[in-house]
Amino acid sequence: MIPADWTPHRRDDGELIGWIRPEGEHWVAMDLFGRPSSGAVEWLEAEEVLEQRGLSWLAEVWMLEREDGEPLRVRIAEVTPGGVGEQGQVVVHTDDFGAIDVPYERIALPWPVPATLRPRRPDDPDGRLFG
Protein backbone atom coordinates (compact mmCIF):
# COMPACT_ATOMS: atom_id res chain seq x y z
CA MET A 1 0.00 0.00 0.00
CA ILE A 2 1.56 3.29 -1.10
CA PRO A 3 1.52 5.92 1.62
CA ALA A 4 -0.25 9.14 0.68
CA ASP A 5 2.90 11.23 1.22
CA TRP A 6 4.96 9.36 -1.44
CA THR A 7 5.36 11.28 -4.69
CA PRO A 8 5.60 9.16 -7.87
CA HIS A 9 8.68 9.74 -10.03
CA ARG A 10 8.53 8.91 -13.73
CA ARG A 11 11.00 8.78 -16.59
CA ASP A 12 10.62 11.19 -19.50
CA ASP A 13 8.48 8.58 -21.29
CA GLY A 14 6.04 8.46 -18.35
CA GLU A 15 7.16 5.08 -16.97
CA LEU A 16 7.06 4.92 -13.16
CA ILE A 17 10.52 4.27 -11.71
CA GLY A 18 9.88 4.88 -8.03
CA TRP A 19 8.73 7.39 -5.45
CA ILE A 20 10.20 10.10 -3.31
CA ARG A 21 9.05 10.21 0.29
CA PRO A 22 9.66 12.79 2.98
CA GLU A 23 11.99 12.16 5.89
CA GLY A 24 12.18 15.14 8.20
CA GLU A 25 13.39 18.04 6.11
CA HIS A 26 14.86 15.72 3.47
CA TRP A 27 13.70 13.11 0.98
CA VAL A 28 14.29 9.40 0.37
CA ALA A 29 14.20 7.71 -3.06
CA MET A 30 12.08 4.54 -2.97
CA ASP A 31 12.33 1.88 -5.67
CA LEU A 32 9.49 -0.05 -7.30
CA PHE A 33 9.71 -2.70 -4.58
CA GLY A 34 8.96 -0.07 -1.92
CA ARG A 35 12.55 -0.24 -0.64
CA PRO A 36 14.81 2.76 0.00
CA SER A 37 17.30 3.52 -2.78
CA SER A 38 18.93 6.42 -0.96
CA GLY A 39 19.36 7.86 2.45
CA ALA A 40 17.82 11.18 3.44
CA VAL A 41 18.94 13.60 0.71
CA GLU A 42 17.84 16.73 -1.10
CA TRP A 43 14.94 16.36 -3.57
CA LEU A 44 17.08 16.64 -6.73
CA GLU A 45 19.50 14.01 -5.43
CA ALA A 46 16.60 11.63 -4.75
CA GLU A 47 15.39 12.18 -8.33
CA GLU A 48 18.91 11.51 -9.64
CA VAL A 49 19.17 8.24 -7.68
CA LEU A 50 15.95 6.98 -9.28
CA GLU A 51 16.96 8.18 -12.76
CA GLN A 52 20.34 6.45 -12.53
CA ARG A 53 18.85 3.22 -11.23
CA GLY A 54 16.14 3.14 -13.88
CA LEU A 55 14.33 -0.15 -14.46
CA SER A 56 17.06 -2.47 -15.78
CA TRP A 57 17.69 -3.87 -12.28
CA LEU A 58 14.33 -5.62 -12.50
CA ALA A 59 15.65 -7.85 -15.31
CA GLU A 60 18.37 -9.40 -13.16
CA VAL A 61 18.22 -12.83 -11.54
CA TRP A 62 16.83 -12.60 -8.01
CA MET A 63 16.89 -15.07 -5.16
CA LEU A 64 13.89 -15.97 -3.06
CA GLU A 65 14.89 -17.29 0.35
CA ARG A 66 12.82 -20.29 1.37
CA GLU A 67 12.39 -21.75 4.84
CA ASP A 68 12.74 -25.29 3.53
CA GLY A 69 16.00 -25.20 1.58
CA GLU A 70 18.35 -23.36 -0.72
CA PRO A 71 17.37 -20.01 -2.17
CA LEU A 72 15.31 -20.24 -5.35
CA ARG A 73 16.45 -18.45 -8.54
CA VAL A 74 13.61 -16.25 -9.79
CA ARG A 75 12.85 -13.55 -12.32
CA ILE A 76 10.53 -10.60 -11.79
CA ALA A 77 7.34 -11.08 -13.83
CA GLU A 78 5.14 -8.27 -12.51
CA VAL A 79 5.35 -5.34 -10.12
CA THR A 80 1.98 -3.93 -9.07
CA PRO A 81 2.42 -1.51 -6.18
CA GLY A 82 -1.26 -0.73 -5.98
CA GLY A 83 -2.50 2.76 -5.35
CA VAL A 84 -2.79 4.83 -2.22
CA GLY A 85 -4.62 2.61 0.23
CA GLU A 86 -4.58 -0.43 -2.10
CA GLN A 87 -2.55 -3.60 -1.50
CA GLY A 88 -0.04 -4.38 -4.25
CA GLN A 89 2.01 -7.42 -5.15
CA VAL A 90 5.16 -8.54 -6.92
CA VAL A 91 4.98 -11.72 -8.96
CA VAL A 92 8.12 -13.73 -9.61
CA HIS A 93 8.63 -16.97 -11.49
CA THR A 94 11.30 -19.57 -11.19
CA ASP A 95 14.19 -18.92 -13.55
CA ASP A 96 13.80 -21.00 -16.71
CA PHE A 97 17.19 -19.95 -18.15
CA GLY A 98 15.45 -18.70 -21.28
CA ALA A 99 13.90 -22.04 -22.25
CA ILE A 100 10.42 -21.85 -23.70
CA ASP A 101 9.51 -25.46 -22.95
CA VAL A 102 10.32 -25.55 -19.25
CA PRO A 103 7.42 -25.13 -16.82
CA TYR A 104 7.92 -22.53 -14.15
CA GLU A 105 6.31 -21.71 -10.85
CA ARG A 106 4.70 -18.29 -10.33
CA ILE A 107 4.92 -16.91 -6.81
CA ALA A 108 3.01 -13.84 -5.63
CA LEU A 109 4.70 -11.74 -2.95
CA PRO A 110 3.23 -8.83 -1.04
CA TRP A 111 4.20 -5.25 -1.79
CA PRO A 112 6.36 -3.78 -0.37
CA VAL A 113 8.52 -6.79 -1.15
CA PRO A 114 9.77 -8.82 1.83
CA ALA A 115 13.50 -9.13 2.50
CA THR A 116 13.29 -12.79 1.42
CA LEU A 117 13.51 -11.53 -2.19
CA ARG A 118 17.04 -10.31 -2.74
CA PRO A 119 19.57 -9.79 -5.53
CA ARG A 120 21.67 -12.80 -6.53
CA ARG A 121 25.07 -13.03 -4.83
CA PRO A 122 28.18 -14.68 -6.32
CA ASP A 123 28.03 -17.48 -3.71
CA ASP A 124 24.40 -18.43 -4.49
CA PRO A 125 23.77 -21.78 -6.19
CA ASP A 126 23.92 -21.52 -9.98
CA GLY A 127 20.87 -23.65 -10.66
CA ARG A 128 22.38 -25.14 -13.82
CA LEU A 129 25.16 -27.09 -12.11
CA PHE A 130 24.48 -30.47 -10.59
CA GLY A 131 26.63 -31.64 -7.71
pLDDT tens string 68-97: 878 889 999 999 998 777 889 999 998 876
pLDDT of 69 reads: 77
**From CA 42, how far away is CA 35, in angstroms rounded?**
18
DSSP 8-state symbol, 129: -
Q: What is the β-pairing status of strands 16-23 and 7-10?
A: antiparallel
What is the layout of strands, in order, in the sheet containing 69-80?
106-111, 88-94, 69-80, 62-66, 117-119
Q: What is the pLDDT of residues 95-114, one digit of tens each?
A: 876 666 667 789 999 999 99
Predicted TM-score of the model (pTM): 0.84
Q: Are 11 and 54 in contact (CB under 8 A)?
A: yes
Task: Give domain limits for the chain.
Answer: 7-57, 58-119
pLDDT of 98 reads: 64
**From CA 13, how far away is CA 30, in angstroms rounded?**
19
SS3 43: helix
